[in-house]
Amino acid sequence: DAKTTQPPSMDCAEGRAANLPCNHSTISGNEYVYWYRQIHSQGPQYIIHGLKNNETNEMASLIITEDRKSSTLILPHATLRDTAVYYCIVKPQTGANNLFFGTGTRLTVIP
């Protein structure tokens, strides 16, 4: 499975957009990019995923570069409740269902 690289921590002012980068330079053509977040001591929460195209849902937007070697998760208007560890995961379309979690990015939203 392709590895991902994320900054260990980021801060964001409340109400501003939070842009969380992820590098997955060894991603292959059949691998999805998934984003989950984990608020302290809770189970990871699914946010969004994509293959090639940019995606948007009620929680966030996912921007994947044309070469697919990196992506950015965008929380348009960060709130204090968005403070969490955000995980970027690459997962093949075929094969096993399990997720490989890295160390993620700890996002702190500052009032």
Partner 1 sequence: KAGVTQTPRYLIKTRGQQVTLSCSPISGHRSVSWYQQTPGQGLQFLFEYFSETQRNKGNFPGRFSGRQFSNSRSEMNVSTLELGDSALYLCASSLGSGGQETQYFGPGTRLLVL
- Residue with smaller CB distance to partner 1, 12 or 34: 34
- Dihedrals φ, ψ of 105, to 5°? -115, 125
Binding of partner 1 by 44 (CB under 8 A): yes
Total residues binding partner 1 (CB under 8 A) = 24
Instruction: Give the nearer residue to partner 1 in terms of CB position, either 99 or 110.
Output: 99
101 forms part of the interface with partner 1 (CB under 8 A): yes
Which 3 state secondary structure label does DSSP give 82? helix
How far is it, in rounded angstroms, from Cα 111 to Cα 108? 10
Q: Which residue among 77, 80, 103, 110 contacts partner 1 (CB under 8 A)? A: 103
* Segment lying near partner 1 (by CB under 8 A), choices 15-23, 44-52, 53-61, 76-84: 44-52
Q: How far apart are CA 106 and CA 84, in angstroms?
A: 6
> Which residues, 3 to 42, sit near partner 1 by CB under 8 A?
32, 34, 36, 41-42
Residue 67, number of CB atoms within 10 A of its CB: 8
C-alpha to C-alpha distances, 29 to 24, 34, 41, 104, nearest whole angstrom: 12, 14, 34, 23
Binding residues (CB under 8 A) for partner 1: these are 32, 34, 36, 41-46, 49, 87, 91-103
